Structure 1
Amino acid sequence: MPLIGLNATCMHSQPGFRNSGVSVYARNLIKALLEEPDPEYEYVVFCNADFDPASLPALARARLIFSPAPGDSPWRRIAWEQTGLVLAAEESQIEVLHGLLNVSPLLSGCRQVVTVHDLTYLTTPGAHPWRRRVWLGVAGRWSLRRAAAVLVDSASTGRDLVEIQNADSDRLVVAYPGLDPDLDGAVDSRSLERFRLREDVPERFLLYLGTIEPRKNLDLLIAAFARLVGRGYPGRLVIAGGAGWGGLDLRGLARDAGVADRLLLPGYVSEPDKPFWYSSAEGFVYPSAYEGFGLPVLEAMACGTPVAAADNSSLPEVVGDAGLLFDPNNIDSMVAALEKICSNSNPIQSLSRKGRRRAREFTWAETARCARRAYRMALSS
């Protein structure tokens, strides 16, 4: 069988990194590929130095090669990808090398497939440090030119590649990420009550869960929430997730808006706790300026939580008719969506049912099927 190399050095097993978007993508795609009942390919998986294979039992079906670079050192990881990975792929006689995080080795001689998650370094450049923008600008464009096939997380990202990077649309494969099979939204009432007591969860609240960084428009969310409070909303705003780049002072923003006592910041949320936060909220809000996909939106819908999301990039593809959309740059539009979510009206209650159905349409088995199609394209190139 053909040998496929999966560059999964972006995959983590440590708390705090494990549920980052790219790590979730890598873990679940690899799991789906390796658990294929009638495999077309054999796999070599390249991992970072501190990745624990026991955290992903499916890896027993693949050969593992470890980078000397730890997972929390992105520039050391990149340096190894451009040197050591090239040599390891050649020594292993890999026929197709799949880069799971936007770029591939620039000097590798084997066929290339690359997953491009988004173009935020171009569409929202202020969301990235300048070194990352420069690196992705050079390596990303070169990877696109060399790749025999390019997986994209959404049709929106595919359009961006064609319009901004002049990518060949014939080489693009839209492969939506799937719903984490462990997050099926089923939370029993007793466990939920214990969680609410343990975490001192408010009776009523709106939830954002995701990376805390400037492009998520959390400053505008706090401003919109303050206006909602001014109109009589009695609940709180919970902004949960690990800190990304940008150093946002959310407490300061809430204090300036007069809602410091209404803001709750629980920080990093573990995978087992996610369904409880989603299920406890009366609404999930995702005001991001740009998303290649937006996994938290899918997770919230799976838990039956009514969703209000920005009307840009890939988010309308994810939400479909199962949630509300608003202009994230327009406070009035955001407030109107939040008011509808909090109304508990029949149309809003129906979003809970629609959201669950919509979330079930996104599976990692389908993502893996699209990846195998990309490998066939590469092998025939």
Structure 2
Amino acid sequence: MRIGIDARFLGPQGIGLGRYTQELVQNLEKIDKKNEYVVFLRQENFDLYRPKNKNFKKVLADVRWYTLKEQLVLPGVFSRENLDLLHVPHFNIPIFYRGKKVVTIHDIIKHKHGGRAATTRAYPIYLLKQLVYRFVISNAAKTASAIITPSKFVKDKVAKTFGVSPKKIYVTYEAGTLTAKERTSVEKKVERVLGKYNISKPYLLYVGNVYHYKNVSRLLDAIKILNEEKGKNVQLVLVGARDVFRQRLEREIVEKGVLKYVVLTGYVTDADLVDLYKEAEAYVQPSLSEGFGLTSVEAMSLGTPVVEADASCLPEVAGDAALYFDPYSPRDIVEKLAKVLGNKKLRESLSKKGLKRAKDFSWERMARETIKVYEKAAKNA
């Protein structure tokens, strides 16, 4: 079978999608010696990917995502390769591509968590983009021979939202990418990492963007109560690159009077991030909606206790290896965080359970399951 992979997101410029695409391609190379693969890349990541398997080749598809050119030019680029199957690891399948295809839909958060708080653009432009998004993702779901989702939660949402049969939707769980090997064992080096970001122990950690559905605003309320009413003297460390949404959050931090309790690190390297996970009292995930919950899995894999929202896919992925709170209630967030901060045995228990749970997820397993999806999709009419 000749399989195409739209890998224009591959690499760090694609953020989460880039990581998923890179892990997919790398692991398919390791395990699949039977099928042929054509990997489509942009100029920015063309040199980043160097095939090691003779059945893999790369093709330049220098078309930016979410553009008119993507819809009009890309179908021809794909068609010229005479593919038996095309895998697009995001919802943005060109509507004019008529070949057999598999699509990965990581979440449908934009359907539920839209509105003015979800954008920094002029509202009419945002509404137009929403209409286009809804049309493109609906077309992808309905025309794909198979759909891949990272959790049963997303599978159910996709089936109900787009009216497609659950029988053509397959769950392939993803995995964390950080390992303890990247962490230094030198205590002074760890102290330098904490000092580099002005972090004092004890601290709670959150990693990710700060879009409105991530619910970081209620986490700010909780950290204020923890310090001013519960006397916990704990920092909240927020890791993530600075963007317009983070600038909004910076203003909110000042308005809520929690500046002295919060550290905004900006972007951090993977090596530093491992140290930040390992030294945290707990990892906190307050999000109202996730497709998989990658950062929680990373925290578990490094032995960091996880305290997170009882929402979306998070309980499905973490199971009994996390302590859950009502994400709409700052008081309940405080109660669960205080419980973990004040109980060393509970932290140790969550750490052990998390390490065990994290072993259930691997990128190689995800790639093997994806090959099975390809085989089933190829047989579908």
Please report the TM-score for the alignment, with normalisation by the length of structure 1.
0.90
Deviation of 1:235 after TM superposition, in Å, equals 1.8
Deviation of 1:342 after TM superposition, in Å, equals 1.2
1:166 alignment partner AA: G
2:179 to 176, 179, 183: 183
1:43 aligns with 2:37: yes
Deviation of 1:184 after TM superposition, in Å, equals 4.2
Question: What SS does the aligned partner of 1:279 have?
Answer: helix
Seen in structure 2, the aligned counterparts of structure 1 residues 258 and 122 have a Cα distance that, compared at 3 Å, is same
Contact 2:142-2:162 at 8 Å conserved across structures: no
Contact 2:199-2:237 at 8 Å conserved across structures: no
Deviation of 1:23 after TM superposition, in Å, equals 1.2
2:362 alignment partner AA: T
1:295 aligns with 2:294: yes
1:211 aligns with 2:209: yes
Of 44-53 and 55-64, deviating more is 55-64
Seen in structure 2, the aligned counterparts of structure 1 residues 55 and 274 have a Cα distance that, compared at 3 Å, is farther
Seen in structure 2, the aligned counterparts of structure 1 residues 33 and 132 have a Cα distance that, compared at 3 Å, is farther
Unaligned stretches of 5+ residues in structure 2: 120-125
Match of 1:121 in 2: 110
Contact 1:5-1:44 at 8 Å conserved across structures: yes
After TM superposition, the structure 1 = structure 2 runs for residues 341-360 of structure 1, keeping only pairs within 5 Å, are: 341-360=340-359
Match of 2:283 in 1: 284
Deviation of 1:81 after TM superposition, in Å, equals 3.1
Deviation of 1:169 after TM superposition, in Å, equals 0.4
Of 51-60 and 98-107, deviating more is 51-60
Match of 2:95 in 1: 106
Contact 2:182-2:270 at 8 Å conserved across structures: no
Root-mean-square deviation (Å): 2.1
Q: 1:104-128 CA deviation, whole Å, 9 max, x = no partner? A: 1211121010000001111112335
Question: What SS does the aligned partner of 2:308 have?
Answer: strand
Match of 2:28 in 1: 33
1:361 aligns with 2:360: yes
State the distance in 2 between where 1:198 and 1:269 align.
10
Contact 1:4-1:94 at 8 Å conserved across structures: yes
Question: What SS does the aligned partner of 1:212 have?
Answer: coil
State the distance in 2 between where 1:281 and 1:272 align.
15
Deviation of 1:188 after TM superposition, in Å, equals 4.1
State the distance in 2 between where 1:132 and 1:336 align.
40
Contact 1:31-1:56 at 8 Å conserved across structures: no
State the distance in 1 between where 2:326 and 2:38 align.
43
Deviation of 1:178 after TM superposition, in Å, equals 1.8
Question: What SS does the aligned partner of 1:114 have?
Answer: strand
State the distance in 2 between where 1:56 and 1:132 align.
35
Question: What SS does the aligned partner of 2:101 have?
Answer: strand
1:340 alignment partner AA: K
Deviation of 1:278 after TM superposition, in Å, equals 0.5
Seen in structure 2, the aligned counterparts of structure 1 residues 56 and 261 have a Cα distance that, compared at 3 Å, is farther
2:224 to 209, 217, 226: 226
Please report the TM-score for the alignment, with normalisation by the length of structure 2.
0.90
Question: What SS does the aligned partner of 2:96 have?
Answer: coil
Unaligned stretches of 5+ residues in structure 1: none
1:251 aligns with 2:238: no
After TM superposition, the structure 1 = structure 2 runs for residues 302-313 of structure 1, keeping only pairs within 5 Å, are: 302-313=301-312
Match of 2:160 in 1: 163
State the distance in 1 between where 2:50 and 2:286 align.
32
Deviation of 1:145 after TM superposition, in Å, equals 1.0
1:89 to 46, 53, 78: 78
State the distance in 2 between where 1:337 and 1:56 align.
47
Deviation of 1:318 after TM superposition, in Å, equals 1.6
Deviation of 1:100 after TM superposition, in Å, equals 0.5
Deviation of 1:346 after TM superposition, in Å, equals 0.9
Of 154-163 and 189-198, deviating more is 189-198
1:25 alignment partner AA: Y
Seen in structure 2, the aligned counterparts of structure 1 residues 379 and 57 have a Cα distance that, compared at 3 Å, is closer
Q: 1:67-118 CA deviation, whole Å, 9 max, x = no partner? A: 3245xxx434xx3432332112211111101110123121112101000000
Question: What SS does the aligned partner of 2:48 have?
Answer: helix
Deviation of 1:164 after TM superposition, in Å, equals 1.8
Deviation of 1:64 after TM superposition, in Å, equals 1.3
1:183 alignment partner AA: T
Seen in structure 2, the aligned counterparts of structure 1 residues 161 and 171 have a Cα distance that, compared at 3 Å, is same
Deviation of 1:379 after TM superposition, in Å, equals 1.0
Match of 1:265 in 2: 264
Report percent identity of matched pairs. Answer: 28
Question: What SS does the aligned partner of 1:291 have?
Answer: coil
1:8 alignment partner AA: A
Q: 1:322-364 CA deviation, whole Å, 9 max, x = no partner? A: 1111111111111111112212431221111111111111001
Match of 2:123 in 1: none
State the distance in 1 between where 2:50 and 2:278 align.
26
Contact 1:212-1:244 at 8 Å conserved across structures: no
Contact 1:49-1:68 at 8 Å conserved across structures: yes
2:130 to 133, 140, 148: 133
